[in-house]
Structures are given as C-alpha cells and as structure tokens.
Amino acid sequence: MTDPVSSSSTTQFLLPGNTNRMFGLASGLDIDSIVGKLMQAEEVPLNQLKQQQQLLQWQQDDYRSMNSLLLDLYNTTFDMTLQSSYLAKTAQSSDETAVSAVASTNAGNASYQITSGTVAKAASIQSAQLGAGFDPNKSLWENRGALANGSSFSYTEVDVVNKDVSVAADGTTFSLGDQYLLSTGFSNTVEVKDSSGTVTGTYNVYFDENAYNADPSTKKVFVNATTGEMTFGETLAAGSTINIASYSYATNIDLSATITAADANGNLVTKNFSFTADQTLNDVINAINSSGLNVTAFYGGGNRVLSITNKNTGNLSTSSPELFVSGTLLNTNLGFSTLGAEGADATLTVNGATLTSRSNTVTVNGVTFTIKKDFTSPVSVSITDDSSAVFDKIKAWVDKYNDTIQKINDKLNEKRYRDYPPLTDAQKKEMSDKDIDLWNEKAMSGMLANDTILRSGLDQMRTDIYSAVKSVADSAFDQLADIGITTSSDYTENGKLIIDETKLKAAIAANPQAVMNLFTNSGDSGGTKVYDNEGIMQRLKDTIKKTMDNVYQKAGKDTYTYDQYSLGKMIHEYDDRIAAMMDHLKDVQDRYYAQFTAMEQAIQQANMQGAFLLSNFGGGA
C-alpha cells in the first residue's frame, strides 16, 4: 500500500488567478507551480485541522453505532421486565378438527369439558339453476333463453316492417338503429339494392355467430341481437340500401333489483339497482359487491347458481329477515325463490354452559376457543404453563446480550493505528480505491479503544447480572447461576453468558414464579428502589439506559443539534478554525502572488531600460 504521507502532492488551495497578476511573462518562471509548492507547506496546519475533525466524526459514528446496539438490547431487556413474558400458557385440545384453543398469559391452569358445538353461519340465499347455455360473460339479452325456470324478460315489443338502412361508405358492418332484437320476428334473409333499386344480393340471416362463421358463403349476415349491429360476409358498396322486410325488438325492459342486508352492527341497509339488457351477469355481481352492502355475490359456474351471502357470520339483526332480495331480475329471471334468510350464531357448550358468538371464536377466562365444525362428541381442552415458551424468551435475551457485549468489546479492544491519519483529498487522488479502503480500515480503527463510558457500562452490567436478588422468596432462585445461567470461564469471551438448558428448563418447570421474580422484581420499598431487591432485568434496564444517555451526551443522535453534545461542539469549533485558516491561506497566497507580480514588473522594467540603453549606445557607435 502506498504511503500517501511521503508521496508528492500538489496544493488543493490554489484560487483562481487575479487578472491583474503577471504570470512569468518577464521572468519565464511557472509562477502558479512555484506558488503551489509554497502553499503546500502553508496548508499543513489546515490539513491537520481537517484530519483532527475527521477523527472526531469517525468517533461520533462509532459511538452512535454502539448506542444502536444498546437500544436493541434495551428493548429486549424491557420486554423481559414484564411479567407477561414469563406467563406463557399452552392449550391442548383432544380433537383439533372440532375445536382448537389459544390461552392468553392471564389464563389460569384449568381443564375444560366441551360437549357440543356448532359453527356460525352467514345469511345466504341462492338463485335457481340457470339454463345449460347460460354464460355470465355474455349480455343478459343474449342469455334470455337460459333464464331460471324458463322465464323471460318483461318488456314491450315493437314490430318494424320493411326498413331500409343506407350504406354511406364501403364496408361490412352497419347498425340497424335498434337493439335487443327478437330473432323470432326477424326476416330470414336481407336484400341489398344498388342506387337504381336493383337487388344486388340476398343474404341469409344468422343470430348465432358460430353458425355464421361456419357458412363458407359470402352471402350471409350476422345480426347481433343485443346491439342491432349487422356484419355482412362481403363488402357492400357506398350508395347501396339494405332492406329488412320485418323484425321485432324489445323496449322498456324491466331488470330492476333490490337487496336489503344487515351490516356488521345489525342495521338493515337497502340498495336499489337498475340494469340494462346489454350488461352481463358479471356486471350484476360487480355492482352488488361494490355497492357498500355487507354482502358478497358469487356465481358458481359448475352448478350455474348465483349466491348472495352476508359477509359476517351470526344472527346479526333482531329484524327478520336480515338478508332479503326483490325485483324482477332477481326474483323472476334469476329465480331467487327464497326471498329472505337469517344467519346463525355459533354455539359451544363448555363445562355445562352453552355460549353463543356471532363468529366461530368464543373466549372464556382468557382462553379463546375456535369452533371448526359442528360436533356432538365430547372434547377436552387443558391449559398449562408453557415452559418451553419461557425458556425460548430467556434464551433469546441471552443471545442478544452476548451478541451486544461481544460487538462492544470488539470496539473497545480495537488497535489504534496513529501512523495512519485520515487521508487528504490530494492524497486520495494519488491512490487506488483499494489502497484508500485499506488505509481507511486502519485509520478508522480504535476510535473507541478502551472508552471509559462503554467500559463502565459493561462493568456495571456484569455487576447487575452477578449480584443476588434478595427480594426473591426462595433463596434457591436468587442468582442466575441457580437457574443454569453462568459466565464463560474463557476470559477472552468478556463475560459471555452460558446456558445449561437442562437446568434452566427444570427451574422454570419447578418454580416458574421464582424465575419470574428473579428477573422482574421492581425492588420498590416504600416508594424507593432498593438495588439488592431489584430483579436482574430491572437493574440491566436502568444500566443500559444510563449508558445510552452518557453516550448521547458525548456523541448525540440524529435529532440533536451540534451544541447539545460534546463532540458536536468540538466538531463545530473545528469548522470555525478551518474557515479561519482558509481565510488566512487566501491572504498568504495573495501575498505570494503580489510578491511575484512585483518581481515580474521589476524585471520587465529592467528589461525595458536595458533595451533603451542598448539602443542608444548602439545607435551612437
């Protein structure tokens, strides 16, 4: 790795030249280069100030990274001061397929006998089965032959005789001008005449697009019964006239619908809908589902039935029914014969008492039962302490503690390389990226070596852990070692905690209350905290908080201003000193240029005088 301190460099301070300066015109000297070399020596104090400021900034960053580790440990430790972390319960059902259970931390150890249960049901109604050809992606008018129970739309029929449609431009597609055509009333053929009235073609009429496509002839026309659009098998010339002998179409089609449903609070809400015959069943479903009603509409393609179901289970409303439909589209065309429906609450008979719930969950004494099916065979549920969950939480805390103190100790034990000061900008320009990284790795090392704030915090944490908790009733559980947590005998591991899993699990099973007290006792005595009576986690929480506060006073955090912590004040002072040094160096540089400018002017004047004398003496000879 190149040593940038001994390598040559050009000044980084040179300012734009003054236009009044003379740069070597008379002397032939490279004035900028000379001034630059002179300024290198002048800049040494400036570079030292910047390097000292950089070291403070690196130290600040390291302090803040250590506080991030401590904050994570603090949060984990705080959770371990709460009794809820040690009151984990487990629930065991004899038949998980019928009913399952989850116990909260405040549930007592108990056994529940459940003799029967029924699941909650949502109010739901279904249409009649629609015809085999019904397609929810096609318009309702196209599906009119496959409506429920052979019903038909309610409409007014209009009969048209001998209608002409003018062909304004060459093409194959033209509009009849009317929609919702009745194929039974349409001519079997359509004639096309030229401008003189002569018939130029007779076209067979198709209402089935597949049959139209299967006909190889060009003398054909497909008529869309929904839109009234005619598509011919060949191009018709402008000026022609399409003549339809007769046809019928429907108007005033009644596709109204009304749905009343109970919302989640049991209030009945009614929505009115009005559909057009060119909409599809999917359009109807989307309109219902986006209406704000507390229902979901669904079409089952296999059984061709439309279902409307309340989103919430249970008997939601005291009014009857809580789901009701009406209107020609739903009652007649889709065949909703059951016009009203009610939901049903779930029931669960626990220890002889029958409980009800709108949902499939029932909570009793901190135990939440979930009913999964209707059943009458007895199910037993037992609630016991969950020793494994408590063990897992303690182990997770120990892992977090070990990881934190290891990383802090690594920082405290980093070697400080004082021969590797921060690089200047000029030095970086002469180095490769790899060399810069290698240099900085050493330059940034040891910013917190043997730091007293962190060292003191770790020492106090070890004291917190090793000291007995005198407020624990059972003296057999007043130290961590009593429950199987000890310190590593390897001094290089800096107080790492080791868990004897068998001993810890046995302690939790034997006396979970004592284990909890060892960690969580408040130590309060008449409104005053007594250290010896405090639980281990209570002590650690306070110590970690105090250490973090000390670090904040030293290195601050993102929300602090520079004058709120000591390093910030020092870094800001260097800003002022650097700015003052920059002003001083500018004055020095200006003085150098002024001196060289004066020299250039003197040389130029001497040259002019010499030339004058030479000219005069030479002329006299």
Residues 280-291: pLDDT tens digits?
999 999 999 999
Range(s) of the domain holding residue 369 = 91-120+346-384
Pairing of β 199-206 and β 220-223: parallel
Does residue 84 surpass a pLDDT of 50? yes
460 in the same domain as 562: yes
106 in the same domain as 68: no
Per-residue model confidence (pLDDT) at position 25: 62
Q: What's the pLDDT band for 18 if we cut at 50, 70, 90? A: very low
Q: Can you say whether the dihedral through the CA atoms of 445, 447, 453, 456 is positive or negative?
A: positive
Does residue 1 surpass a pLDDT of 80? no
For residues 39-56, give the mean pLDDT.
Answer: 87
The mean pLDDT value of the chain amounts to 90
Per-residue model confidence (pLDDT) at position 602: 83
Residue 260 within any structural domain of the chain = yes
443 in the same domain as 409: yes
Residue pLDDT, tens place only, 242-291:
999 999 999 999 999 999 999 999 999 999 999 999 999 999 999 999 99
Per-residue tokens: 141: 């008018």
Per-residue model confidence (pLDDT) at position 621: 45
Per-residue model confidence (pLDDT) at position 42: 82
Residue pLDDT, tens place only, 435-467:
999 999 999 999 999 999 999 999 999 999 999
Closest CA relative to residue 103, chosen from 384, 348, 358, 375: 384
356 in the same domain as 332: no
Per-residue model confidence (pLDDT) at position 527: 79
- What gap in Å lies between CA 237 and CA 219, rounded to an integer? 14
Query: Is 257 strand, coil or helix?
Result: strand
For residues 390-395, give the mean pLDDT.
Answer: 95
Residue 407 within any structural domain of the chain = yes
For residues 180-196, give the mean pLDDT.
Answer: 91
Residue pLDDT, tens place only, 538-594:
999 999 999 999 999 999 998 888 888 999 999 999 988 988 888 888 888 888 888
CB burial of residue 101 (10 Å; 0-12, 13-18, 19+): buried
The helix-helix angle for 501-510 and 387-412 (nearest 10°) equals: 130
Per-residue model confidence (pLDDT) at position 35: 79
Residue 582 within any structural domain of the chain = no
Closest CA relative to residue 183, chosen from 247, 270, 118: 247
Residue 574 within any structural domain of the chain = no
> Domain boundary at 355, 384, 413, which?
384
Does residue 106 surpass a pLDDT of 70? yes
Does residue 208 surpass a pLDDT of 60? yes
What are the C-alpha distances in Å from 210 to residues 100, 215, 216, 222? Answer: 55, 9, 12, 10
531 in the same domain as 433: yes
Closest CA relative to residue 26, chosen from 614, 610, 605, 612: 605
Per-residue tokens: 72: 């994570």
Does residue 20 surpass a pLDDT of 70? no
Cross-strand bridge partners of residue 356: 347
Does residue 362 surpass a pLDDT of 60? yes
Here the CATH number for the domain that contains residue 316 is 2.60.40
- What gap in Å lies between CA 560 and CA 568, rounded to an integer? 9
Q: Can you say whether the dihedral through the CA atoms of 613, 616, 618, 621 is positive or negative?
A: negative
- What gap in Å lies between CA 83 and CA 537, rounded to an integer? 11
Per-residue model confidence (pLDDT) at position 505: 94
459 in the same domain as 405: yes
Residue 37 within any structural domain of the chain = no
393 in the same domain as 378: no
- What gap in Å lies between CA 1 and CA 438, rounded to an integer? 8
The pTM for the full model equals: 0.62
Per-residue model confidence (pLDDT) at position 231: 97
Number of H helices, E strands in the chain: 11, 27
Residue 131 within any structural domain of the chain = yes
Provide the residue count of the chain. 621
Residue 376 within any structural domain of the chain = yes
- What gap in Å lies between CA 618 and CA 25, rounded to an integer? 26
Q: Domain tally for the chain? A: 4
> Domain boundary at 223, 254, 285, which?
254
Q: What's the pLDDT band for 10 if we cut at 50, 70, 90? A: very low
- What gap in Å lies between CA 312 and CA 308, rounded to an integer? 12
167 in the same domain as 272: no
Residue pLDDT, tens place only, 120-167:
999 999 999 999 889 999 999 999 989 998 888 999 999 999 999 999
Q: Which of 80-94, 297-311, 380-394, 592-606 has the lowest mean pLDDT?
A: 592-606
354 in the same domain as 328: no
Q: How far is CA 368 from the centre of its chain?
A: 30
Residue 617 within any structural domain of the chain = no
Per-residue model confidence (pLDDT) at position 469: 94
Q: How far is CA 225 from the centre of its chain?
A: 50
230 in the same domain as 105: no
246 in the same domain as 161: yes
Does residue 378 surpass a pLDDT of 80? yes
Higher pLDDT, 339 or 203: 203
Per-residue model confidence (pLDDT) at position 11: 46
Does residue 17 surpass a pLDDT of 60? no
Whole-number percent of the chain with pLDDT over 90: 71
547 in the same domain as 524: yes
> Domain boundary at 310, 341, 372, which?
341
Read off φ and ψ for residue 564, nearest 5 degrees: -95, -5
